[in-house]
Amino acid sequence: MIATDASQRFPSATIERLRSPAPTFLQRAAPAVVLAIAALTGCTGATTAKGSSAGSDASPGPSGFEGGANPNAGADAGAQDDATSMTINSGIDSGVDSGAATNVGAGGPDASADTGTTTAPDAARSNKVLIYAVTSPGAYRHASIPAAAAALAKAAAAVGLTTEIVGASDATNIVDPTKFTAAALAQDGAVILLANDGEPFGYPATQEIQNLSDYVHNGGALVATECATDCYGGAFSAPIYNHPLSVPYHALLGATFTGHSNFAPATCKTIGNSVFVAQLAPAFNVTDEIYAFTDFAMDNQVVMTCISSTDTNTVRPISWSREIGSGRYFYTALGHPDTNWTMPLDSQLPNTRLVEDHIIHGLLWAMRR
């Protein structure tokens, strides 16, 4: 079963096939119908660093996130979705009202071919990658951000990309909307939203969000991780600022964060043989928070699912990709502790590195490299 959140407003769908060489599409079904899943599998460039210090303590987060640098503290009862999540056998309640199909079984483009529906309009874009790790005042801040930014920059350099890191240290964690003007984005080959939370572009950021959306629609590459899906009205950021949900922002990211399991052991499985998971072990163990979502876009192509040991009846989508206009977008929710950015996710399986075996391939795909 795959589930997001029972409170979401959208109808469900049914998978016709899973793990087929050809794309598998979810068809719209009546509300309360769930997805029936037949099977799940089982550096050298220049770096411009703006504050990627070796470590920083996380500031206390809102109720439901673990505060500080102790990932074993566990989430608040408010963050747990046990009471609200769909624990229906083989189900995912997700989608958008438009009725567009979601490709959850195919697992994105095949590792051996580029299946994009457009030509590569951004092939001439720069090799510069903006790693934007800002969290706004009062929002939750992952202690792993410095390690994550360093790991991403190192992997990017290894494939000939340059990086600009903004907000990776506490000292440089300053909201900078100038990075999201149309002119600034035009200089970026890709943008990585690294574990942002709150209102990282400022508020209301209507123009900045529109600029980012236009950037992607016009051929730009976007990668997002972790609680970037909580920004601008997610389950924990909304009560802090008491501002309405930014529909354009969450439409771009393809989901809205509603909570997560306790930091605990989990089992993850890859779907298909897309470039995002082709290097990963098809099934592996990890200790992390497993996120839940609502407003799940019907055209998200899910490439990985996870089951937390704290909620063994619920399989959750954790990583997905989408073609957006002429651009591409990739998301993964894993990465809570430092070790998940610096060591294999599964200590028994060396081919379970979060950056080298997963995220870097999503970045290169989004950049059409």
Residue pLDDT, tens place only, 156-202: 999 999 999 999 999 999 999 999 999 999 999 999 999 999 999 99
Residue 325 lies in a domain: yes
* 255-261-267-271 Cα dihedral, nearest 10 degrees: -10
Residue 28 lies in a domain: yes
How many CB atoms lie under 10 A from the CB of residue 140?
24
pLDDT-derived band at 109, boundaries 50, 70, 90:
low
Check pLDDT > 80 for residue 38: no
Return d(Cα 314, Cα 2) in angstroms, integer: 6
Residue 156 lies in a domain: yes
Tell me which residue range forms the domain holding 186.
Answer: 13-366
Return d(Cα 166, Cα 150) in angstroms, integer: 12
Residue 323 lies in a domain: yes
Residue 78 lies in a domain: yes
pLDDT-derived band at 34, boundaries 50, 70, 90:
very low
pTM tops 0.75: no
Average pLDDT of the segment spanning 234-262: 96
pLDDT-derived band at 27, boundaries 50, 70, 90:
very low
How much is the CA Rg of the chain, to the nearest whole Å?
18
Closest-CA residue to 293 (of 93, 18, 121): 93
Q: How far is CA 116 from the centre of its chain?
A: 20
Share of the chain above pLDDT 70, in %: 66
List Cβ neighbours of 42 (8 Å cut-off, separation of 6 or more): 269, 282, 283
pLDDT-derived band at 125, boundaries 50, 70, 90:
confident
Residue 356 lies in a domain: yes
Average pLDDT of the segment spanning 242-257: 97
Is there a contact between 191 and 152 (Cβ–Cβ < 8 Å)? Answer: no
Residue 335 lies in a domain: yes
Between 107 and 297, the higher pLDDT residue: 297
Residue 8 lies in a domain: no
- Give pLDDT, residue 319: 98
CATH number at residue 53: 3.40.50.880
Check pLDDT > 50 for residue 102: no
Looking at the 3D structure of the chain, how many domains does it have?
1
* 292-241-254-298 Cα dihedral, nearest 10 degrees: 70
Average pLDDT of the segment spanning 340-354: 97
